[in-house]
Amino acid sequence: MLKTLVKRSFAKAWHRLEANERVNKGIALIEVEQSTRPEFGDFSSSIALAEARNTTFSAHELATEFANALRTDTTTELYSRVEIAGPGFVNVFLAPSLIHSALRQILEMGNRFGYSTIGQQEPLQVEFVSSNPTGPLTVGHGRQAVLGDVLASLYTNLGYEVSREYYFNDEGHQIDLLAQSLWARYRQEFGDTINIPEQGYQGEYIVDIARQVVKEHGPSFTDFDEQTSHRFKQDAISRISSMIKNDLSLLGVEFDSWFSEQTLHHSGEVTAALKALKAHDGVYELEGAIWLKTEENRGVKDSVLVRSDGRPTYLMVDIAYHINKHRRGFTHVINVQGADHQVEQSSMQAAMRILGYPEDFLDYAVHQFVSIKEHEKTTRMSTRAGKFILLNDLLDELGRNVVRYFMAARKPTSHLEFDMDLARTQSLDNPLYYIQYAHTRIASIFRRIGSPAMSAQVDLSPLEKREELDLIKQLDRFPEMLQQAAFEFSPHLITDYALTLARAFHAYYDSYRVLGNQKRLTTARLALLRGVQIVVHRSLQLLGLSIPEEM
RNA sequence: GCGCCCGUAGCUCAGUGGAUUAGAGCGUCGCACUCCGGAUGCGAAGGUCGGAGGUUCGAAUCCUCUCGGGCGUACCA
């Protein structure tokens, strides 16, 4: 990577500068950044400005010294020019041959470009969606599904051994309510006036399920006894979870494992988890309940683990679940969750601390909510009231690619306003198609010439236009951007990057002709297009979007 | 009250310490096709980066206060 090379050379030059007695030794942080304007070169450093105070030089004098140190480094031929500008910036202009070598590397790597081995195959789990099987997925879940799925791909790309998991709350109060709601709807089919419980589920889908039960079993369930309750529970769960799986699959999201909450209860892991917390002095009793000591973390008060009637809370079970994850050998766990789970996140982190797990074991990728804007009206989601826009409806109308793109293109910590009218009427002006079109145009030119294999040995020296060198520099940034997107839980960096790259490509392609009489030039430009194609391909792939050859 | 997130162009959003032109898409207005796919390109108009202080050589970006919006603040899950 170009930046790495530059940074290394800067560090070396700075090291030599430290021989000067007017400079303090060994504390400078070498910062290199990509220049924002062409006249500032390719990379620049403000190190002289930041470090002048640790020397007896002025910032400008220090920059001069530093620039000289860079220029006299004869071991490399990185720069065509080194300049000082403004109050003390040092700007370097890369030699074209160096930039060409970056493209050569991309051609050599092909579709492996951007992969990294940082993760060293460490087992990492991404847990996401994990919606209760009490109703179909909403657009909010859709955002989480896309976020989790892309993060999982990103970490795979960084060399982690990634597993996607869905945690299934198939036990507890909400499930009881679900069964009761289904029972009420079932009896209503026979004209009985049984009401849905106050906090129960009102959605139309419960009616559909009730009708199916009627169809299969008739009026045979006359009382809501233990057996019927159990039956309705399992029936509702299995039907709703297959709805959920179906929606996810339409979105292109596949899980490696589905973890059932019931298993934690049956295996005794919940009890064991409580015991472990007790052994670490992490709990206390008050008013007949057992509480977790959260040490007033981020303004969050202590939470109940075991109710006074002896039943464990959701948090208690969740702690057992995380112990289970740790035992399964995951060294990193990323939980993707909505912003409404803040308290749980703090409590869980506290529990992990109490149990002595490493600080980096558990991370939360938090995302804000989604609202749908349609005809100037904004609708918010609420599952229980039965008023929500279903992910399924969105997929039906817009298709997997558009939905995934819109969900991924926003910074997760920002509220996402999904503009239906825009998504519909402008689907042809959609940025997604603009990116895909870049790939298509390149695919088309290679089809036309019979798609010869592109050798990395090709002579790239004819690539001397500023647009060509800029394109290569953009391609070269790809791996670094991917790392940032992964570590900052920010898939939108990929969509931003891809859009910028596509723009640069379209502009270039419009003003320079690739196929021509000059063989060397044509070959070199084809190599450049291949490089762009590789990176666009990889971007779309990581986002889970289709990569069209034709549109 | 307390905690977290957000406030940047008409709309939807990037940018979270760097250089007297703060970016993109959509929308508006104008221009460019005998040419590798026009799902394209070029240009224009449009912003005191919610407000006020502060830190710094340097602030949309960091700190404090403040105004506005969202989400929490359950012996719900």
Strand B proximal residues, A:525-544, Cβ < 7 Å: none
ipTM over 0.85: yes
Name the region of A412 (left: φ>0; alpha: ψ -120 to 50; beta: rest): alpha
Residue A356 to residues A41, A281, A325, Cα–Cα distance (Å):
49, 12, 14
> For position A159, what pLDDT does the model report?
96
What pLDDT shows up at residue A482?
Answer: 95
- Nucleotides in chain B near protein beta carbons (<7 Å): 2-7, 11-15, 18-19, 21, 24-27, 35-42, 57-58, 69-77
Strand B, CB < 7 A, residues 114-143 of A: 132
Mean pLDDT, contiguous 10-residue spans, chain A (551 residues): 87 82 70 82 87 80 88 76 85 92 94 94 96 89 95 97 95 88 92 85 88 91 89 92 95 96 94 95 92 71 91 94 97 94 89 92 92 62 52 88 92 85 65 93 92 78 92 94 94 94 94 91 95 96 94 85
Tokens 């939470």 belong to which residue?
A: A303
* Phi, psi (deg, nearest 5) at residue A44: -145, 160
Residues A142, A254: Cα–Cα separation, whole Å: 13
Closest nt to residue A48, judged CA to C1': B57
> What is the DSSP secondary-structure string of A444-512?
HHHHHTT-----TTS--TT--SHHHHHHHHHHHTHHHHHHHHHHTT-THHHHHHHHHHHHHHHHHHHHS
CB A114 within 8 A of CB A479: yes
Nearest nt to the A298 alpha carbon by C1' = B3
Distance A442 CA to B31 C1' (A): 27
Question: Residue A529: which nucleotide is closest by CA–C1'?
Answer: B36
Q: What is the pTM assigned to this prediction?
A: 0.93
Q: Strand B contacts (CB < 7 A) among A residues 218-257?
A: none
Residue A162 has φ and ψ, to the nearest 5°, of -95, 140
Q: Are A108 and A456 in contact (CB under 8 A)?
A: yes
* pLDDT for residue A387: 47
Q: Measuring from the CA of residue A91 to each C1', which nucleotide is nearest?
A: B19
Q: How far is the CA of A49 from the C1' of B58 (A)?
A: 10
Name the nucleotide nearest A300; use CA and C1': B3
Would the Cβ of A441 be found within 7 angstroms of any atom in strand B? yes
Measured from the CB, is A490 under 7 Å from any atom of strand B? yes
Q: Residue A362 pairs with which residues in a beta bridge? A: A333
Residue A490 confidence (pLDDT) = 94
Single-letter amino acid, residue A336: V
Do residues A435 and A498 lie in contact, with contact meaning Cβ atoms separated by under 8 Å?
A: yes
**Straight-line distance from CA A102 to C1' B53, in Å?**
48
Residue in A483, A469, A473, A534 with CA at minimum distance from that of residue A6: A473
Kindly determine whether the C-beta of residue A38 is less than 7 Å away from any atom of nucleic acid strand B. Answer: no
Cβ proximity of A305 and A313 under 8 Å: yes
CA A366 to C1' B3, in angstroms, rounded, equals 15
Q: Is the CB of A503 under 7 A from strand B?
A: yes
Distance CA A380, CA A371 (A): 5
Q: Which residues contact A287 (CB under 8 A, 6 or more apart)?
A: A308
Residue A444 beta carbon within 7 A of nucleic strand B: yes
Cα separation, A187 vs A210, in Å, equals 8
The pLDDT value recorded for residue A100 is 95
Contact A45, A96 (CB under 8 A): no
Per-residue tokens: A460: 């790239």
d(CA A469, CA A481): 19
